Structure 1
Amino acid sequence: MPLPTIAAYEALQGTAPRSLSTALTEKGITHHILWAACRDNQVSADARIGNSWHGAFPTTSVK
């Protein structure tokens, strides 16, 4: 993911941050569960599966 531009950063100045819950509710999604690959003080990892890199958590959780 590319870094945000200065113009994009400046456009956000003075706006209030939205929580994930607020963003989902605005889209009409009222029942949701957030699955995290790690705690907020940990780092998640990618794994080479087949011939490409994938998030290790989502790849193993759907199998």
Structure 2
Amino acid sequence: MTINKAVTAFGGFMVLLSVLLTWTVSPYWAWLTVFVGFNLFQSSFTGFCPAALIFSKLGFKPS
């Protein structure tokens, strides 16, 4: 799996997790969705993605 696919999968998982936690635990978990969305948005402009750095250190291949 490439880093780009891993970042996309991780972002989707985090959004789904935050929706589930918002629905079952507390509405404050919606801030996790905001955080993930902001990181995806800023990485599209800056090219800096913390998750991509972690995945590259874990041995995922660049695209």
Shorter-chain TM-score bucket reads: under 0.3
What TM-score comes out, normalization by structure 2 length?
0.26
Instruction: Give 1 or 2: higher helix fraction.
Output: 2
Which of 1 and 2 has greater Rg?
1
Instruction: Give 1 or 2: higher strand fraction.
Output: 1
Q: Which protein, 1 or 2, shows the higher relative CO under an 8 Å CA cutoff with sep ≥ 6? A: 2
